[in-house]
Protein backbone atom coordinates (compact mmCIF):
# COMPACT_ATOMS: atom_id res chain seq x y z
CA UNK A 1 0.00 0.00 0.00
CA UNK A 2 1.36 3.42 -0.96
CA UNK A 3 2.07 5.81 1.92
CA UNK A 4 -0.30 8.28 0.22
CA UNK A 5 -3.18 6.25 1.64
CA UNK A 6 -2.18 7.24 5.18
CA UNK A 7 -3.15 10.84 4.38
CA UNK A 8 -6.74 9.77 3.64
CA UNK A 9 -9.48 9.27 6.19
CA UNK A 10 -9.67 5.72 7.57
CA UNK A 11 -11.83 3.50 5.41
CA UNK A 12 -15.38 3.00 6.67
CA UNK A 13 -15.88 -0.56 7.93
CA UNK A 14 -18.45 -2.56 5.96
CA UNK A 15 -19.64 -6.11 5.58
CA UNK A 16 -17.77 -8.15 3.01
CA UNK A 17 -19.37 -9.95 0.09
CA UNK A 18 -17.90 -12.06 -2.70
CA UNK A 19 -18.61 -11.37 -6.36
CA UNK A 20 -17.20 -14.61 -7.66
CA UNK A 21 -13.50 -14.55 -6.79
CA UNK A 22 -13.49 -10.81 -5.99
CA UNK A 23 -14.11 -9.76 -2.40
CA UNK A 24 -15.93 -6.44 -1.95
CA UNK A 25 -16.08 -4.53 1.32
CA UNK A 26 -14.42 -5.18 4.64
CA UNK A 27 -10.65 -5.08 4.25
CA UNK A 28 -10.69 -6.13 0.58
CA UNK A 29 -8.94 -3.83 -1.92
CA UNK A 30 -11.29 -1.33 -3.57
CA UNK A 31 -12.26 -2.89 -6.89
CA UNK A 32 -12.78 -1.40 -10.34
CA UNK A 33 -15.79 -2.15 -12.51
CA UNK A 34 -16.92 -1.37 -16.03
CA UNK A 35 -19.67 -2.49 -18.40
CA UNK A 36 -19.59 -3.95 -21.89
CA UNK A 37 -21.19 -2.02 -24.75
CA UNK A 38 -21.61 -5.05 -27.03
CA UNK A 39 -24.80 -7.02 -27.49
CA UNK A 40 -24.52 -9.77 -24.90
CA UNK A 41 -25.91 -12.28 -27.40
CA UNK A 42 -22.71 -11.65 -29.39
CA UNK A 43 -20.64 -14.03 -27.27
CA UNK A 44 -17.29 -13.64 -29.01
CA UNK A 45 -17.55 -9.85 -29.31
CA UNK A 46 -18.57 -9.50 -25.67
CA UNK A 47 -15.81 -11.81 -24.45
CA UNK A 48 -13.24 -9.86 -26.46
CA UNK A 49 -14.35 -6.67 -24.70
CA UNK A 50 -14.38 -8.35 -21.29
CA UNK A 51 -10.79 -9.50 -21.80
CA UNK A 52 -9.74 -6.01 -22.89
CA UNK A 53 -11.41 -4.48 -19.83
CA UNK A 54 -9.71 -6.98 -17.54
CA UNK A 55 -6.34 -6.23 -19.14
CA UNK A 56 -6.84 -2.54 -18.43
CA UNK A 57 -7.74 -2.79 -14.75
CA UNK A 58 -11.34 -3.98 -14.44
CA UNK A 59 -11.82 -6.47 -11.59
CA UNK A 60 -15.55 -7.03 -12.31
CA UNK A 61 -17.48 -6.55 -15.58
CA UNK A 62 -21.20 -5.98 -16.01
CA UNK A 63 -23.17 -7.11 -19.07
CA UNK A 64 -26.75 -6.26 -19.93
CA UNK A 65 -29.32 -9.04 -19.75
CA UNK A 66 -32.34 -7.60 -21.53
CA UNK A 67 -33.66 -10.56 -23.54
CA UNK A 68 -33.39 -14.33 -23.91
CA UNK A 69 -30.53 -14.06 -26.39
CA UNK A 70 -28.52 -12.08 -23.84
CA UNK A 71 -29.23 -14.64 -21.11
CA UNK A 72 -28.15 -17.47 -23.38
CA UNK A 73 -25.05 -15.50 -24.25
CA UNK A 74 -24.21 -15.12 -20.56
CA UNK A 75 -24.32 -18.90 -20.13
CA UNK A 76 -21.42 -19.10 -22.60
CA UNK A 77 -19.60 -15.95 -21.47
CA UNK A 78 -19.44 -16.58 -17.72
CA UNK A 79 -17.33 -19.78 -17.79
CA UNK A 80 -14.86 -18.21 -20.24
CA UNK A 81 -14.53 -14.81 -18.58
CA UNK A 82 -11.27 -13.85 -16.81
CA UNK A 83 -13.24 -11.80 -14.24
CA UNK A 84 -16.62 -12.15 -12.48
CA UNK A 85 -19.66 -11.17 -14.57
CA UNK A 86 -22.59 -9.17 -13.19
CA UNK A 87 -25.88 -9.15 -15.09
CA UNK A 88 -27.59 -5.77 -15.44
CA UNK A 89 -31.36 -6.10 -14.94
CA UNK A 90 -33.92 -3.36 -15.43
CA UNK A 91 -37.57 -4.19 -16.09
CA UNK A 92 -38.05 -7.94 -16.40
CA UNK A 93 -37.90 -10.36 -13.48
CA UNK A 94 -37.62 -13.21 -15.98
CA UNK A 95 -34.26 -11.84 -17.11
CA UNK A 96 -32.95 -11.78 -13.54
CA UNK A 97 -33.91 -15.41 -13.08
CA UNK A 98 -32.46 -16.34 -16.46
CA UNK A 99 -29.19 -14.60 -15.61
CA UNK A 100 -28.96 -16.58 -12.38
CA UNK A 101 -29.57 -19.75 -14.35
CA UNK A 102 -26.76 -18.69 -16.70
CA UNK A 103 -24.35 -18.70 -13.75
CA UNK A 104 -23.56 -15.01 -13.31
CA UNK A 105 -21.60 -14.05 -10.21
CA UNK A 106 -23.76 -11.03 -9.45
CA UNK A 107 -26.93 -9.11 -10.31
CA UNK A 108 -27.63 -5.42 -10.48
CA UNK A 109 -31.26 -4.46 -9.89
CA UNK A 110 -32.66 -0.96 -10.40
CA UNK A 111 -35.36 -0.39 -7.75
CA UNK A 112 -36.95 2.30 -9.88
CA UNK A 113 -37.60 -0.13 -12.73
CA UNK A 114 -38.28 -3.52 -11.12
CA UNK A 115 -41.01 -2.42 -8.71
CA UNK A 116 -43.30 -5.30 -7.75
CA UNK A 117 -42.47 -6.45 -4.19
CA UNK A 118 -43.29 -10.09 -4.93
CA UNK A 119 -40.89 -10.11 -7.89
CA UNK A 120 -38.13 -8.45 -5.89
CA UNK A 121 -38.50 -11.01 -3.11
CA UNK A 122 -38.50 -13.85 -5.67
CA UNK A 123 -35.19 -12.71 -7.20
CA UNK A 124 -33.64 -12.19 -3.78
CA UNK A 125 -34.67 -15.70 -2.69
CA UNK A 126 -33.21 -17.24 -5.86
CA UNK A 127 -29.98 -15.28 -5.41
CA UNK A 128 -29.83 -16.33 -1.77
CA UNK A 129 -30.14 -20.00 -2.66
CA UNK A 130 -27.38 -19.72 -5.26
CA UNK A 131 -25.03 -17.58 -3.16
CA UNK A 132 -25.11 -14.74 -5.69
CA UNK A 133 -24.87 -11.13 -4.42
CA UNK A 134 -27.08 -8.31 -5.66
CA UNK A 135 -26.28 -4.65 -6.10
CA UNK A 136 -29.17 -2.35 -5.29
CA UNK A 137 -28.48 0.17 -8.04
CA UNK A 138 -30.43 3.33 -7.26
CA UNK A 139 -30.29 5.99 -9.97
CA UNK A 140 -31.51 9.58 -9.64
CA UNK A 141 -32.91 9.43 -13.16
CA UNK A 142 -35.16 6.42 -12.53
CA UNK A 143 -36.54 6.79 -9.03
CA UNK A 144 -39.90 5.25 -8.21
CA UNK A 145 -42.51 8.01 -8.82
CA UNK A 146 -43.87 7.69 -5.27
CA UNK A 147 -40.48 8.33 -3.73
CA UNK A 148 -39.75 11.16 -6.15
CA UNK A 149 -43.01 12.86 -5.19
CA UNK A 150 -42.61 12.27 -1.47
CA UNK A 151 -39.16 13.85 -1.31
CA UNK A 152 -39.80 16.55 -3.89
CA UNK A 153 -37.26 15.26 -6.38
CA UNK A 154 -34.18 13.09 -6.64
CA UNK A 155 -32.67 14.30 -3.39
CA UNK A 156 -29.95 12.43 -1.47
CA UNK A 157 -32.62 11.41 1.03
CA UNK A 158 -34.82 10.03 -1.75
CA UNK A 159 -31.98 7.96 -3.20
CA UNK A 160 -31.11 6.44 0.16
CA UNK A 161 -34.77 5.76 0.93
CA UNK A 162 -35.11 3.87 -2.35
CA UNK A 163 -32.20 1.64 -1.36
CA UNK A 164 -33.61 1.16 2.15
CA UNK A 165 -36.99 -0.02 0.85
CA UNK A 166 -35.35 -2.47 -1.57
CA UNK A 167 -33.16 -3.80 1.21
CA UNK A 168 -36.25 -4.35 3.38
CA UNK A 169 -37.74 -6.63 0.69
CA UNK A 170 -34.49 -8.60 0.62
CA UNK A 171 -34.47 -8.95 4.40
CA UNK A 172 -37.97 -10.42 4.32
CA UNK A 173 -36.53 -13.50 2.60
CA UNK A 174 -33.33 -13.56 4.66
CA UNK A 175 -31.05 -12.17 1.97
CA UNK A 176 -28.27 -9.74 2.92
CA UNK A 177 -25.51 -10.44 0.39
CA UNK A 178 -25.83 -6.90 -0.93
CA UNK A 179 -23.90 -3.90 -2.09
CA UNK A 180 -25.53 -0.53 -2.69
CA UNK A 181 -25.13 2.40 -5.07
CA UNK A 182 -26.96 5.75 -4.98
CA UNK A 183 -25.83 7.40 -8.19
CA UNK A 184 -26.71 10.79 -9.63
CA UNK A 185 -25.42 12.82 -12.57
CA UNK A 186 -25.05 15.81 -10.24
CA UNK A 187 -21.71 15.47 -8.45
CA UNK A 188 -22.95 17.38 -5.41
CA UNK A 189 -26.07 15.20 -5.10
CA UNK A 190 -24.02 12.04 -5.56
CA UNK A 191 -21.55 13.00 -2.82
CA UNK A 192 -24.32 13.91 -0.38
CA UNK A 193 -26.22 10.70 -1.15
CA UNK A 194 -23.22 8.46 -0.53
CA UNK A 195 -22.35 10.26 2.68
CA UNK A 196 -25.88 9.62 3.90
CA UNK A 197 -25.77 6.01 2.68
CA UNK A 198 -22.53 5.43 4.59
CA UNK A 199 -24.28 6.56 7.78
CA UNK A 200 -27.39 4.47 7.05
CA UNK A 201 -26.03 1.10 5.85
CA UNK A 202 -23.13 -1.16 6.75
CA UNK A 203 -23.25 -2.81 3.33
CA UNK A 204 -20.42 -2.12 0.87
CA UNK A 205 -20.96 0.88 -1.39
CA UNK A 206 -20.42 0.97 -5.15
CA UNK A 207 -19.36 4.51 -6.16
CA UNK A 208 -20.14 6.32 -9.38
CA UNK A 209 -21.39 9.51 -11.01
CA UNK A 210 -23.99 8.26 -13.45
CA UNK A 211 -24.23 9.58 -17.01
CA UNK A 212 -21.06 11.60 -16.53
CA UNK A 213 -20.73 12.09 -20.30
CA UNK A 214 -17.84 12.08 -22.79
CA UNK A 215 -14.19 12.89 -22.15
CA UNK A 216 -12.77 15.06 -20.73
CA UNK A 217 -15.79 16.43 -18.82
CA UNK A 218 -17.07 13.01 -17.82
CA UNK A 219 -13.70 12.08 -16.40
CA UNK A 220 -13.61 15.28 -14.35
CA UNK A 221 -17.12 14.70 -12.97
CA UNK A 222 -16.43 11.10 -12.11
CA UNK A 223 -13.14 11.93 -10.41
CA UNK A 224 -14.63 14.84 -8.48
CA UNK A 225 -17.30 12.62 -6.96
CA UNK A 226 -15.45 9.33 -6.54
CA UNK A 227 -12.15 10.77 -5.28
CA UNK A 228 -13.90 13.01 -2.76
CA UNK A 229 -15.64 10.02 -1.20
CA UNK A 230 -12.59 7.75 -1.29
CA UNK A 231 -10.60 10.45 0.50
CA UNK A 232 -13.27 10.40 3.21
CA UNK A 233 -12.97 6.62 3.56
CA UNK A 234 -16.26 5.93 1.77
CA UNK A 235 -16.50 3.34 -0.99
CA UNK A 236 -15.63 -0.30 -1.65
CA UNK A 237 -15.91 -0.60 -5.43
CA UNK A 238 -16.34 1.93 -8.24
CA UNK A 239 -17.19 2.58 -11.85
CA UNK A 240 -16.63 5.61 -14.08
CA UNK A 241 -19.73 6.01 -16.29
CA UNK A 242 -18.28 7.57 -19.43
CA UNK A 243 -19.68 8.11 -22.91
CA UNK A 244 -16.54 6.52 -24.33
CA UNK A 245 -14.85 3.20 -24.94
CA UNK A 246 -15.38 1.32 -21.65
CA UNK A 247 -11.64 0.64 -21.56
CA UNK A 248 -11.30 4.31 -20.60
CA UNK A 249 -13.52 3.59 -17.57
CA UNK A 250 -11.33 0.72 -16.44
CA UNK A 251 -8.12 2.71 -16.93
CA UNK A 252 -9.49 5.71 -15.07
CA UNK A 253 -10.68 3.64 -12.13
CA UNK A 254 -7.41 1.81 -11.78
CA UNK A 255 -5.30 4.96 -12.12
CA UNK A 256 -7.39 6.82 -9.56
CA UNK A 257 -6.88 4.09 -6.98
CA UNK A 258 -3.16 4.00 -7.72
CA UNK A 259 -2.62 7.76 -7.40
CA UNK A 260 -4.54 7.74 -4.11
CA UNK A 261 -2.35 4.90 -2.88
CA UNK A 262 -5.35 2.58 -2.52
CA UNK A 263 -4.08 -0.05 -4.97
CA UNK A 264 -0.57 -1.17 -5.79
CA UNK A 265 0.73 0.36 -9.00
CA UNK A 266 0.08 -1.99 -11.89
CA UNK A 267 0.87 0.26 -14.82
CA UNK A 268 2.78 3.36 -15.81
CA UNK A 269 2.66 6.58 -13.80
CA UNK A 270 4.24 9.32 -15.91
CA UNK A 271 4.92 12.73 -14.41
CA UNK A 272 6.27 15.74 -16.29
CA UNK A 273 7.15 19.34 -15.50
CA UNK A 274 4.95 22.14 -16.92
CA UNK A 275 8.05 23.61 -18.61
CA UNK A 276 9.54 27.07 -18.22
CA UNK A 277 12.04 29.41 -19.86
CA UNK A 278 14.93 27.03 -19.09
CA UNK A 279 13.42 24.08 -20.97
CA UNK A 280 15.83 22.73 -23.58
CA UNK A 281 13.28 20.50 -25.36
CA UNK A 282 9.61 20.38 -26.24
CA UNK A 283 8.51 18.81 -22.96
CA UNK A 284 4.97 18.09 -24.18
CA UNK A 285 6.27 16.25 -27.25
CA UNK A 286 8.81 14.17 -25.32
CA UNK A 287 6.33 13.36 -22.53
CA UNK A 288 3.64 12.33 -25.03
CA UNK A 289 6.02 10.09 -26.97
CA UNK A 290 7.38 8.55 -23.78
CA UNK A 291 3.91 7.86 -22.43
CA UNK A 292 2.81 6.16 -25.65
CA UNK A 293 5.94 3.99 -25.78
CA UNK A 294 5.93 3.03 -22.09
CA UNK A 295 2.16 2.44 -21.82
CA UNK A 296 2.43 -0.10 -24.60
CA UNK A 297 4.80 -2.07 -22.36
CA UNK A 298 2.51 -1.75 -19.30
CA UNK A 299 5.43 -1.43 -16.89
CA UNK A 300 4.56 -0.74 -13.22
CA UNK A 301 6.97 2.16 -12.67
CA UNK A 302 6.89 5.92 -12.18
CA UNK A 303 8.71 7.86 -14.90
CA UNK A 304 9.52 11.59 -14.98
CA UNK A 305 10.12 13.78 -18.03
CA UNK A 306 11.71 17.08 -17.01
CA UNK A 307 12.46 20.09 -19.22
CA UNK A 308 15.94 20.90 -17.91
CA UNK A 309 18.78 19.44 -15.88
CA UNK A 310 18.97 22.45 -13.53
CA UNK A 311 16.20 21.29 -11.18
CA UNK A 312 14.72 18.26 -12.94
CA UNK A 313 16.54 15.35 -11.25
CA UNK A 314 16.09 16.90 -7.80
CA UNK A 315 12.43 17.77 -8.23
CA UNK A 316 11.66 14.27 -9.52
CA UNK A 317 13.97 12.33 -7.20
CA UNK A 318 10.97 10.29 -6.00
CA UNK A 319 10.47 8.84 -9.50
CA UNK A 320 11.82 5.38 -10.29
CA UNK A 321 13.23 6.70 -13.54
CA UNK A 322 13.45 10.04 -15.29
CA UNK A 323 15.16 12.11 -17.92
CA UNK A 324 16.03 15.80 -17.99
CA UNK A 325 17.17 17.85 -20.97
CA UNK A 326 20.34 19.92 -21.07
CA UNK A 327 22.50 21.32 -23.88
CA UNK A 328 21.08 19.04 -26.57
CA UNK A 329 21.47 16.00 -24.35
CA UNK A 330 19.26 13.95 -22.10
CA UNK A 331 20.33 13.18 -18.55
CA UNK A 332 18.89 9.85 -17.45
CA UNK A 333 18.39 9.46 -13.70
CA UNK A 334 17.12 6.89 -11.22
CA UNK A 335 15.63 8.29 -8.00
CA UNK A 336 17.44 11.58 -8.62
CA UNK A 337 20.88 10.07 -9.35
CA UNK A 338 22.26 10.67 -12.85
CA UNK A 339 23.18 7.34 -14.44
CA UNK A 340 23.77 8.15 -18.10
CA UNK A 341 23.85 10.98 -20.64
CA UNK A 342 22.36 10.40 -24.11
CA UNK A 343 21.85 12.50 -27.27
CA UNK A 344 18.65 14.56 -27.28
CA UNK A 345 17.10 12.57 -30.13
CA UNK A 346 17.55 9.34 -28.15
CA UNK A 347 15.81 10.48 -24.94
CA UNK A 348 12.61 8.47 -25.37
CA UNK A 349 14.47 5.40 -26.62
CA UNK A 350 16.80 5.58 -23.59
CA UNK A 351 13.86 5.87 -21.19
CA UNK A 352 12.19 2.79 -22.66
CA UNK A 353 15.41 0.77 -22.61
CA UNK A 354 16.18 1.67 -18.99
CA UNK A 355 12.58 1.09 -17.86
CA UNK A 356 12.74 -2.47 -19.16
CA UNK A 357 16.02 -3.05 -17.33
CA UNK A 358 14.67 -1.64 -14.06
CA UNK A 359 11.70 -4.01 -14.15
CA UNK A 360 13.93 -6.95 -15.05
CA UNK A 361 16.90 -6.24 -12.75
CA UNK A 362 15.67 -3.87 -10.03
CA UNK A 363 16.57 -0.29 -9.06
CA UNK A 364 19.65 -1.13 -7.01
CA UNK A 365 21.21 -3.16 -9.81
CA UNK A 366 20.67 -0.35 -12.30
CA UNK A 367 22.12 2.24 -9.95
CA UNK A 368 25.18 0.05 -9.49
CA UNK A 369 25.59 -0.08 -13.30
CA UNK A 370 25.51 3.70 -13.75
CA UNK A 371 28.13 5.65 -15.71
CA UNK A 372 30.25 7.24 -12.97
CA UNK A 373 31.15 10.19 -15.22
CA UNK A 374 27.49 11.06 -15.92
CA UNK A 375 27.02 13.24 -12.83
CA UNK A 376 30.02 15.42 -13.74
CA UNK A 377 28.63 15.87 -17.26
CA UNK A 378 25.25 16.83 -15.83
CA UNK A 379 26.85 19.35 -13.48
CA UNK A 380 28.67 20.96 -16.39
CA UNK A 381 25.43 21.23 -18.34
CA UNK A 382 23.67 22.73 -15.30
CA UNK A 383 26.34 25.39 -14.99
CA UNK A 384 26.19 26.18 -18.70
CA UNK A 385 22.41 26.53 -18.60
CA UNK A 386 22.58 28.85 -15.62
CA UNK A 387 25.09 31.01 -17.44
CA UNK A 388 23.01 31.08 -20.62
CA UNK A 389 19.56 31.56 -19.13
CA UNK A 390 20.04 32.17 -15.45
CA UNK A 391 18.58 30.38 -12.49
CA UNK A 392 15.87 33.02 -12.48
CA UNK A 393 14.55 32.34 -15.99
CA UNK A 394 11.18 33.93 -15.18
CA UNK A 395 12.82 37.09 -13.76
CA UNK A 396 11.29 36.75 -10.32
CA UNK A 397 14.41 38.00 -8.53
CA UNK A 398 14.56 41.08 -10.75
CA UNK A 399 10.90 41.82 -10.01
CA UNK A 400 11.45 41.38 -6.28
CA UNK A 401 14.40 43.79 -6.36
CA UNK A 402 12.26 46.40 -8.16
CA UNK A 403 9.49 45.95 -5.60
CA UNK A 404 11.94 46.52 -2.77
CA UNK A 405 13.39 49.64 -4.38
CA UNK A 406 9.93 51.12 -4.84
CA UNK A 407 8.85 50.29 -1.30
CA UNK A 408 12.02 51.83 0.15
CA UNK A 409 11.68 54.99 -1.97
User: Is residue 214 exposed (0-12), middle (13-18) or buried (19+ Cβ within 10 Å)?
Assistant: exposed
| Structural domains of the chain, count | 2
What pLDDT, on the 0 to 100 scale, is given for residue 374? 87
- Per-residue b/e over 99-127, b at no fewer than 16 CB within 10 Å? bbebbbbbbbbbbbebeeeebbbbbbebb
| Final residue before a domain boundary, out of 259, 282, 311 | 259
What pLDDT, on the 0 to 100 scale, is given for residue 409? 62
In tens, the pLDDT along 105-116 reads: 999 999 988 889
What pLDDT, on the 0 to 100 scale, is given for residue 34? 98
What pLDDT, on the 0 to 100 scale, is given for residue 329? 84
Residue 189 near residue 229, CB atoms below 8 Å: no
What pLDDT, on the 0 to 100 scale, is given for residue 2? 47
Listed as ranges, residues in the chain with pLDDT below 50 are 1-3, 393
Q: Are residues 358 and 309 in the same domain?
A: yes
Find the domain containing 277 and state its range. 269-389
Q: Are residues 45 and 93 in the same domain?
A: yes
Does residue 334 fall inside a structural domain? yes
Query: Quick one: DSSP state of residue 11?
Result: P
CATH at residue 154: 3.20.20.20
Q: Could you write out the DSSP letters of every residue in 166-235? A: HHHHHHHTT---EEEEEE-SSHHHHHHHHHHHHHH--S-BEE--TT-BSTTHHHHHHHHHHHHHHHTT--
In tens, the pLDDT along 17-32 reads: 999 999 999 999 999 9
What pLDDT, on the 0 to 100 scale, is given for residue 399? 77
Q: Are residues 115 and 190 in the same domain?
A: yes
Q: Could you write out the DSSP letters of every residue in 93-105? A: HHHHHHHHHHT-S
Q: Are residues 241 and 332 in the same domain?
A: no
Q: Are residues 243 and 291 in the same domain?
A: no
Cα 59 from Cα 236, distance rounded (Å): 12
| Final residue before a domain boundary, out of 225, 259, 293 | 259
What pLDDT, on the 0 to 100 scale, is given for residue 314? 82
Amino acid sequence: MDVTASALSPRRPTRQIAVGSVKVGGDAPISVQSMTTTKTADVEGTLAQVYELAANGADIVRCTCNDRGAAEGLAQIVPRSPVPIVADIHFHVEMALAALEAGVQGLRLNPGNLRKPEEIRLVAAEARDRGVPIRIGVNAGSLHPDIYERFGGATPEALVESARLELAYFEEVGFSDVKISVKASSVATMIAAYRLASETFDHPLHLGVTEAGPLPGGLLKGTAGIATLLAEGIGDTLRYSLTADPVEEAKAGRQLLEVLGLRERKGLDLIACPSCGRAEVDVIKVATEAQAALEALNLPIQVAVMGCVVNGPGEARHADLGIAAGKKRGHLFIQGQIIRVVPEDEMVEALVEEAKKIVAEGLEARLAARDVSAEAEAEADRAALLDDRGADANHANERIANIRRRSEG
